[in-house]
Amino acid sequence: MKQTPFDTIAAVSSPPGEGGIGIVRLSGDDALEIVSGIFRPYRGTESLENKLSFSMILGHITDNGRNVDEVLVSVMRKPHTYTREDVVEINCHGGAVAVNEVLRLVLASGARLAYPGEFTKRAFINGRIDLAQAEAVLDIVRAKTARSLEKAVGQLDGTLSEKIDSVSNALKEVLVLCEASIDFPEEEDVGPFDYRTVKKKLFSAEKEIAVLTESFETGRVYRDGVFTVIVGKPNVGKSSIMNAFLRFDRAIVTPIPGTTRDIIEEQLNIDGVPFILADTAGITNTNDIVEKEGISRSRSAISKAGLALVVFDYSSGIDERDIEIAKSAKHTPHILIINKTDLERKMDLGRVAQRTGLKTPFVMLSAKTGNGLKSLEKRMVDMVRSGGATGDYTVMVTNRRHFESLRKSKSEIDHALQAVAEKRSLELLAFDVKNAVDSLGEITGRVANDELLEEIFNRFCIGK
């Protein structure tokens, strides 16, 4: 079969493995015909072709008269579907064998296997959603917290796209004024070019874009999470702290120093803020090759972290290893933790601040008993939010691609404002404004090439 953008496609749209149901989804002009050929309804008089849109019918998927599975078939007719094509979903029992058998029969009957993200790509191509909304679909699937889900759903509803279109339309008004004066300079009804009005419109657009770009730090946190490393010398209780956060034993804890030799990562949701928590190997001098590699990775993790939890041992004195670790975390946002407060105190807290040069207040913690854990969690959330991660933005930018396009657009507007201030040629002004509009169009897909579309939709799973 020749592959074209309008083939009828099919894929498994439910997660792999066992579950209550498994879904095989089809989209395209032949979807109803293909499923009708392998489906036998319980009521012999019923027919998929005669079913109203958004209705379901019970029956069996068959293979040469043999029942493969009892299923519910959903019928959705274009254009009011996800892809704006005819869509049929076969709801099977959730075993891998049953689902794959149904998919095999669908493909053998004339459908082809969908590419990654092809259902959503068709929704974009057919004009049901724009590119920013398509990317929101992926953000919904990958949402780490209720807040990140809320922001992704808002983007899918078009809140970001509406704001982008509003700014873009304002810039297009400037472009119209420029082009009218360029093309019809002598016409009476055009009049002299109004630099004051153009300047006002450009400033307004720049301000709108600035608010969107400022929201990115907040949006990025809620979308991707804060990469948070737990660092310290061996046996200060880093793994115990990791386990205390998670409320289960994820990392191995023993009295023997150097147990953790690689970075262990887990996701953590604290008050709606997602953290990617990383337990690192204890930093010390060692001749062990494996331990050296773990320490090297720990140092690398500190340099990439958005937040470092620097751990000291309440039951031992501060030494050169503590000082070296503190120095390595100095330029990363950090929280100082004094762990093992359930044991006898041997640490001079005043000397810790003096010798390490780290001035932030300590959090006193016993990972073993949990005392101080709530205070630590609150400090983590407060640090993220005080760094600009809680701006109450009506519209929030969560995607770096969108952020970069906004920055490009703002830069072009700055050039345009300079052109207005210096009363440069209107051709140059129009060029800058058009570039600003095009940069905004990259966000919604009004300006997009095949390479960009392929890059975006290849991030999706097959079946979405």
**Chain length of the chain:** 464
pLDDT score of 287: 46
pLDDT score of 231: 87
**Structure confidence by residue, pLDDT tens digits, 225-280:** 888 888 888 888 888 898 888 875 554 444 444 444 446 778 888 888 888 888 87
pLDDT score of 226: 85
pLDDT score of 317: 75
Give the side-chain half-sphere CA count within 13 A for 409: 31
Residue type, 330: K
pLDDT at 439 over 60: yes
d(Cα 137, Cα 154) in Å, to the nearest integer?
A: 11
Range name among 312-316, 323-327, 385-389 with the lowest pLDDT average: 385-389
Residue type, 152: A
* Contact between residue 338 and residue 308 where contact means Cβ atoms under 8 Å apart: no
pLDDT at 181 over 90: no
Local confidence band at 438 (pLDDT 50, 70, 90 cut-offs) = very high
Distances, alpha carbon 29 to alpha carbons 7, 12, 33, 252, in Å: 8, 19, 8, 56
Rounded to the nearest 10°, the torsion over CA 221, 227, 230, 231 is: -120
Distances, alpha carbon 209 to alpha carbons 59, 319, 395, 411, in Å: 54, 50, 11, 10
Fold for the domain defined by 229-388: Rossmann fold (3.40.50)
pLDDT at 209 over 90: yes
Start-to-end Cα distance in the chain: 22
Can you give the pTM of this predicted structure? 0.75
pLDDT score of 186: 59
Local confidence band at 106 (pLDDT 50, 70, 90 cut-offs) = very high
CA-only gyration radius of the chain, Å: 29
* Contact between residue 41 and residue 51 where contact means Cβ atoms under 8 Å apart: no
d(Cα 282, Cα 234) in Å, to the nearest integer?
A: 4
Query: Regarding predicted confidence, which is higher, 289 or 277?
Result: 277
For 43, phi and psi rounded to 5 degrees? -90, 115
**Highest mean pLDDT: which of 111-125, 326-340, 351-365?**
111-125
CATH number of the domain at 133-215+397-457, please? 1.20.120.430
Looking at the chain, the domain(s) classified CATH 1.20.120.430 span 133-215+397-457
Fold for the domain defined by 9-114: Gyrase A; domain 2 (3.30.1360)
For the chain, counts of helices (H) and of strands (E): 16, 13
Average pLDDT, the chain: 84
pLDDT score of 263: 62
Looking at the chain, the domain(s) classified CATH 3.40.50.300 span 229-388
* Contact between residue 56 and residue 73 where contact means Cβ atoms under 8 Å apart: yes
Say what angle helices 131-142 and 159-183 make with each other, to 10 degrees. Answer: 160
Distance of CA 219 to the CA centre of its chain: 9
DSSP 412-438: HHHHHHHHHHTT--HHHHHHHHHHHHH
**Which residue bears the tokens 């262990």?**
264
Mean pLDDT across 12-24: 88
Query: Regarding predicted confidence, which is higher, 431 or 292?
Result: 431
pLDDT at 109 over 70: yes
Looking at the chain, the domain(s) classified CATH 3.30.1360.120 span 9-114
Positive/negative CA dihedral, 160, 163, 167, 168 = positive
Sort 196 into a burial class: Cβ within 10 Å, 0-12 / 13-18 / 19+: exposed
Sort 247 into a burial class: Cβ within 10 Å, 0-12 / 13-18 / 19+: exposed
Strand order in the sheet with 362-364: 264-270, 273-279, 226-231, 307-313, 334-339, 362-364
Range name among 146-160, 293-307, 402-416 with the lowest pLDDT average: 293-307
pLDDT at 358 over 80: no
pLDDT score of 212: 92
pLDDT score of 305: 78
